[in-house]
Structure 1
Amino acid sequence: MNLRNDNIYTVSRLNAEVRLLLENEMGIVWLVGEISNLMVPVSGHWYFTLKDSQAQVKCAMFKGNNRRVTFKPANGNQVLVRARLSLYEPRGDYQIIVESMQPEGDGRLQQQFEQLKMQLAAEGLFAASQKKALPEQPKRVGIITSKTGAALHDILHVLKRRDPSLPVVIYPTQVQGKDAAIQIAQAIGRANSRNECDVLIVGRGGGSLEDLWCFNEEIVARTIAASSIPIVSAVGHEVDVTIADFVADVRAPTPSAAAELVSRDTSVRAQQFLQRADRLAHVFSRLLGRQQERLTRLQHRLAMQHPKARLQQQAQQLDELDRRLSRAMQQKLQTEAQRLDRLAVKLDRYSPASQLPGLKTQLGYSEQRLIEAMRRQLRQQQHALALKMETLDAVSPLATLARGYSISRDDRGDVIRSASSVKKGDRITTTLADGEIQSQVI
């Protein structure tokens, strides 16, 4: 079967495309979990694992981002992170690149706030077309807040100063705690069922994110959106923003400002201008939010193509190689140390100094054996020589001479075997057992 070359992936190409797919398709995610296996190498980057009771995922937070973390993380911490999905290409490990981190408590509330805000915005609850205009001349104002709070006092004080004749109906409710959201929704429903007011002020004084959380509950937001009576949200101070502010028909920065918005005043046009400016601000806020989201997506796509992303990958790979090199060096040193110990033991075992006593003893034994062998060999040679001398004596001409025989030689040294071999006047030498006789034939 023939395959086109562009259908055949290398491992590096596959990992690169999977990384881009994860980063471009998933975008930014919020993740909560427990920190474990936290590592902080000399590069300053953080590597750790986020886990829950059933799963875990590897994480990397680079130095430029972890500098903004306001607490010191440790193993066992429960945290909320804002991150993007990625893939560490050299090992093919799925991981997340953390961009921000905060403790789970405040972070979880902020995450829930953002999630609900995005959900309701997608459903159109924040749309300007859903907003109801406030009545120019309200006949009765309803106030939904705590009967003992400072917010009620501020609202009543402003209404009395601006329009003492304006009737007010108070719907007391809790504005903090576990049951507050249900009570606020019930109060709004009760005001709608009675239909005795032209406008409602829903709010309380300032506080922490947790204190104001009941105004971020979905039940309150949907009840405000479903109200047939225009609602002014007056929660906290000017810097406090809740989901109720986005859903309400008008948002007032403070409870006192809400009272000014709904009360009669000579400067009606100024009030209308404020309302219209607020609505315009909402429109621009939504437009700005959409453009900001689009800008964020474009920045994210640009970041994926930016050398910084590649540098982050390489920085992580460098940290990994540094750890592997350190482990390899330690293992090599341990192996060489063990090998050196074995060689030292072996060298000591074969050292001349340790072998010298044994060799000396062996040399003494060999010397004794050599002397004994030489003596034995000498005795054998002496005995053999004696035997040969006896044999030689038995066949020696000298022995024959000793028995009375003699040997005569001519002047050339040849043995005279016959009398005819000499003539008169020849000199001969006769050898006897004890000497020689020189004579002349006559």
Structure 2
Amino acid sequence: MNSAVSPRPGRHLRRPDWAGRNYSLLTAAAFVTNLGGHGALIAAAFAVLENGGDGGDVGLVAAARTLPLVLFLLIGGAVADRVPRHRVMVAANALNCVSQGLFAVLVLTGEPLLWQMMLLTALGGTGQAFFGPAAEGMLLSSVSGAQASRAFAVFRMAMQGAAVGGAALGGAMVAVVGPGWVLAADAAAFAVAGAMRALLDVGHIAPREPGGGMLADLREGWQEFVGRPWLWAVVVQFSIVGAVVGAADAVYGPLVSRDHLGGAGPWGLALGFFGAGTVAGALLMTRWKPRRLLLAGTLCVFPLALPSAALAVPVPIGVLCAVMFVTGVTLEVFGVSWMTALHQEIPENKLSRVSAYDWFGSVALTPLAVALAGPAEDAFGRTEALWGCAVTVFTVTALVLLVPDVRRLRRRTKEIATGPATAGANGSADAECPVGGHG
């Protein structure tokens, strides 16, 4: 079915049926936060470097953001399946706005201390721990039926499209006006996105049935998680892949760019090409619907080893940009396939808890990997550490293909009655980042 709606004489074009009010608000808010967030990632790293820090300090600040994710994600998932999800999202956005705003003030008015940057980054990570499961549950249940994968692809195309401008603009702004103003812009983006998410309509959603408490909710989510081999296998895979790729991107990328490519601008350009690749990949997935969802998606994880290898050489900026573009394309094939699998297989009232276990597994090793990136560089050398990242990504991705359910899980062509909540005539449903721990 063509999702486009033909215009009638004298009437304006309207949204396709699957792009209801909630879905549209979620997509617009994700665009805003990703526009600010991709620039802020570069700004945070260079704020540390410009205030006398080294690679180890960059890793500590990055780890300070990820550690609260590990500590609070499971609680965040349980809360999001109890409290209206949009309220959790708005509260998390408010915390992120405050923490990034204070970070910006410190950078703009003086020389921030390492512990101050770590503390504020940790507050931002705490907000993300509650935001992530709620957002994923909202998005996955905001669409239904045969057009679900197309809706996810369009959402990711908008979200990743913001990365193209956000990374390039952020890198340029860091080079021209310094990291403080980029952090301030990110704080403003969180404020705008939070206002949008406050407008989500969940009044038609029945209240959740009373349960046995937080521990019972967590246990129920755990049973849902471990009972699906394809789910826990991929999450274990990304607990390792995400850790080594996170270390390469957060620590080694800025250092290689500073020492060999000319500073923040080229690294921002490379990240912008990655964002452009994700847009192209999402556009591809609006048309391509692989039958074996996770087989196609997992095969497209192998190219995640390429950026680390390119930084290890290191290749010229033009080659690095090409590598990042290809990686972005293939990552989106996985991302849309993964979201579609979750959408069709996980009951709506357990989406946030399952998403929390997904996020938890995907980020559990990242604080350790990022914190150890600097010491690993000192012990083995930067080039050797980057090659180690590339080999690790390739190996664990090959191993996950040994799980039969990963190879066999097929796309369903008909909506399942017990699946996620069905959208109404305007596409609204109880219903967001990179979604889950996988981008």
TM-score interval, normalised by the smaller of the two chains: under 0.3
More RCO (CA 8 Å, sep 6+): 2
More strand by share: 1
Structure having the higher Rg: 1
More helix by share: 2
Q: TM-score, normalised by structure 2?
A: 0.21
